[in-house]
Amino acid sequence: MLNNLVAIYGAPTAFSIEYLVIAGGGGGGGVLNSTNYRVGGGGGAGGYLASSLSCDAGISYTTTVGAGGANTTNGNNSVFSSVTSTGGGQGGGEALPASGGSGGGGQGGSNVGTNISVSGAIASPSGQGNNGGDGFISHPTYAGGGGGGASAVGGTGTILTGGSGGAGSASSITGTSVTRAGGGGGACRNAFGAASTGGSGGAGGGGAGGNETVNGNGVAGAIYTGGGGGGGQPFSGNGAAGGSGLVVLKYPDTRTITLTGVTGSTAAPSGGFKVTTITAGTGTVSFT
């Protein structure tokens, strides 16, 4: 009976695919010699989405890998088919922290004009990451909050230490457990010259925050992780860029993938599946 149906209607084309879609991380806040010298918060990690969906052979699926955001700029969205992962929120600096897949950390304040400490931004839409941490001010210390990560909220700035970036999440879709989408660390400054420490980047590619005693620049988020950029200490540095995202697809090894306009590589089949990792570009993916 089944053979008769195939002969009449053709072989079924639908099959299940497992995906991991991570957006670009947000840039850390903080601008060298800015007007108000607000110590930067860490950038939020790019949104992290992992699940499965049904695909059909012969259909072209829109695919985009989001770039990381520059200093005080949100990351860019990543897309596969109907799945959209939202870019990470920028860390606070001269501008307020922004919402994103994970929210940016709040800035630590100013020693020119009104002193402020700003709450971290929320993760939006929900389900892709976590909120950024709050900035801190207790003269003479100013510290930015950490950006949110895929599995944890960004840390709050404290005396002499920027807030740590929130931790990312681990996936074994490629056959090996890899943690991605960590938030950026907040920067720290002490106006009286006491040693300060930038917040550590969140596990999974988040960049560390800067400080005035070693290097005021934040550290960039790692590429292909969606990690947030570290915040900058504006008397001597800038916030750093977020890391680019990626799209990973796992599908039956009986299928062949075609990439158009995007860059990627396919691992040797294993356990009945192929895994393709897409690291750049905007285009389409199709299967036969």
* CB-based contacts of 219, cutoff 8 Å, min separation 6: 184, 185, 201, 207, 208, 209, 210, 229, 230, 240
Give pLDDT tens digits for 26-67: 999 998 887 777 899 999 999 999 999 999 999 999 999 999
pLDDT recorded at residue 245: 98
Q: What is the mean pLDDT of residues 76-100?
A: 96
Give pLDDT tens digits for 154-167: 999 998 899 999 99
Indicate if the pLDDT at residue 2 is higher than 80: no
Cα gap 197→29, rounded to integer Å: 16
Q: Tell me if 231 sits within 8 A of 186, measured CB to CB.
A: yes
Give pLDDT tens digits for 204-262: 999 999 997 767 899 999 999 999 999 999 888 999 999 999 999 999 999 999 999 99
Q: What percent of the chain has pLDDT over 70?
A: 92
